[in-house]
Amino acid sequence: MLLAALLGGVLMIVGGVAFPRVVMSTIDLALTERSQPISKFAWILAGVAMVSALGSAVFRYSIQKVSMMMEYDLRAGIYEHMQGLSFSFYDHAQTGQLVSRANADIRAVQMFLAFAPMMALTGLSFVGSVAVMVSISPLLTLIALIPIPGVYYMGMKMRTKLFPISWLLSARMAEVATIVEESVAGIRIVKSFAAEEHRIGLLAQAAERLRWVALKQVRIRSGFAPMMESLPRVGRALVLLVGGWMAITGSLSIGALVAINLYFVGLQAPFMILGFLMIMSQRAAASSQRIYAIFDEVSEIQDRDGAEDIEITEGRVEFDKVSFGYADGENVLTDLDLKIEPGETLAVVGRTGCGKSTLMRLLPRFYDVRDGSIRIDGVDIRDVRVESLRREIGLVLDEPFLFSESIHDNIAYARPDATRHEVEEAARSADAHRFITRLEHGYDTVIGERGYTLSGGQRQRIAIARTLLADPRILVLDDATSSLDVKVEQQIHDALGNLVRGRTTLIIAHRLSTIGLAKRVVLIDEGRIVADGTHEELLRTVPAYADILTRKEA
């Protein structure tokens, strides 16, 4: 496509440069001297115009297609890269900022890629035109080129001033996108606190900052662009003055004067769009740096050389002297030892912030331990491929996330190749089939964003069905019923029982009913296991355990 664009561009330039020269011959030979028929030059002019038009069409189509292909590659590449980044990146990244870089910034780069080659061809046309002008009249060519140094100087000055403003403009647009994204995603919270005016105020402030930057960009352009466009007009006036005097005295033909003026019009084109291209180029430069900032992020979770798929034969899980802390903070877990036997269901209990959920995040390698190791069937999880590890571990979170798709697709998300029968069987095991079939479109019902058109218990049942369909060997329940009332929790208790049966299960528990699914309970305090036994044993012998449960149940 680039070669086709290059060929088309060359034809366009040749036609554009040849046209004034043919006009000169037409005037001098056919109209002034009348030595040759005008029809001959009319056919030549028509041919030159057709060649130029054909070249322009090929060039424009090819270069636009290339820029669109590059936009697609950038968009797909940045999305793929973001999917591979570790949880630590998303701990501090703002969704609106990421969306802005994946959309507005990539679009800015695409537009520059589409228009910049046109400017480059205009530059080549400039060189060709000057060469022909010199062959016609070196003096008039020199006069025509007088304004160029001034235009170049002002262009560089404008470029220097525009770059930081362009970067700030992209950042302010991302700020607006972040506020809009958060307001839409959290619309239920906004409305529940009657905080609409507050959110509107935040957006107004961000929009005002964006407006200030945009006007600053306009002021810079307004200060330089008119002069950059007007200086060439001064040169044209000088060309007409000197050229007209030369034509009157007979030292220059009328055709040559007309050709010089036609060429000069062509020379003006780059200066007419130079200001626009400067703004576009600086915006694209700023946007590309923001895009590369994401590409430069390296995932902390990487497959080691030679890592293979994990083969779980038993499902034994071991935490061996594990220490871990988030970012540069203090350790959340310190020298923690824990063993879960194959098929065992273990409940982990502790106060808020003691490190319970951290265990859940370390097992599928959302984060890597600082010290110690985590082994499954005796194999360090850092020695196996991350994708295969996570396929073997099922997660059911306290707030299940559902997509704005059909219920069937949400359940089948765990196994996109699953049949309708397999999806329905998973839903039956999760006690979800009955309420699904009562919906107007059954399994084909498209649920709202995040599944908010369903109740909390219904969403949790669908999440359980999704995990059942994945059929993981190891299961983690992270406060899977903490967001539900007691009645709803009792209704899905059987579904949870079906889920944990026959699997090595780690339950992050707060409620007695959830703890009841486990035969063994461990108590965590300040990142260490301080008690281990059955629920009855801990309740009888560990006062801190009884105190925690009493507070949670209250």
Q: How many C-beta atoms surround the C-beta of residue 522 within 10 A?
A: 23
Residue 407 amino acid letter: I
Q: Are 430 and 494 in contact (CB under 8 A)?
A: no
Supply the pLDDT for residue 272. 61
Decide: helix, strand or coil at residue 449. Answer: helix
Q: Is the pLDDT of residue 507 over 90?
A: no
Q: Residue 332 burial by CB count (10 A; 0-12/13-18/19+): exposed, middle or buried?
A: buried
Which fold, 317-553? Rossmann fold (3.40.50)
Q: What's the start-to-end Cα distance of the chain, in Å?
A: 69
Q: Please give the angle made by the CA atoms of 65, 67 and 70, to the nearest 5 degrees.
A: 110
Give the model's confidence band at 190: pLDDT under 50 very low, under 70 low, under 90 confident, else very high: confident
CB 11 within 8 A of CB 54: yes
How does the average pLDDT of the chain come out, rounded?
A: 84
As a whole number of angstroms, the distance between CA 204 and CA 200 comes to: 6
76, exposed or middle or buried, with CB in 10 Å at 0-12, 13-18, 19+? exposed
Question: Is 143:239 a contact under the CB 8 Å cutoff?
Answer: yes
What is the number of residues in the chain?
554
Q: Residue 255 and residue 253: Cα distance in Å, rounded?
A: 5
450: helix, coil or strand? helix
pLDDT at 488 over 70: no
CA separation for the pair 414, 419 (Å, rounded): 12
Question: pLDDT (tens digit, 9 = 90+) per residue, 99-139?
Answer: 878 888 888 888 888 887 877 777 778 888 888 889 888 99
Q: What is the pLDDT of residues 431-483, one digit of tens each?
A: 888 889 998 889 999 887 777 778 878 888 888 888 888 888 898 888 665 55
Which amino acid would we find at residue 47?
G
- Predicted confidence (pLDDT) per residue in 65-84, tens digit: 998 998 899 989 998 898 88
Nearest Cα to Cα of residue 96 among 199, 178, 187: 178
Transcribe 59-122 into DSSP letters.
HHHHHHHHHHHHHHHHHHHHHHHHHHS-HHHHTT--HHHHHHIIIIIHHHHHHHHHHHHHHHHH
Give 353-404 pLDDT, tens digit per residue: 788 888 888 999 989 999 999 999 999 999 999 989 988 888 888 778 888 8
Longest dimension (CA), the chain: 120
333 phi, psi to nearest 5 deg: -115, 140
Residue 133 token pair: 């002008």
Rounded CA separation 71/93 (Å): 23
Domain ranges of the chain: 2-295, 317-553
Q: Which fold has domain 2-295?
A: ABC transporter transmembrane region fold (1.20.1560)
How far is residue 332's CA from residue 341's CA, in Å, rounded to a whole number? Answer: 24
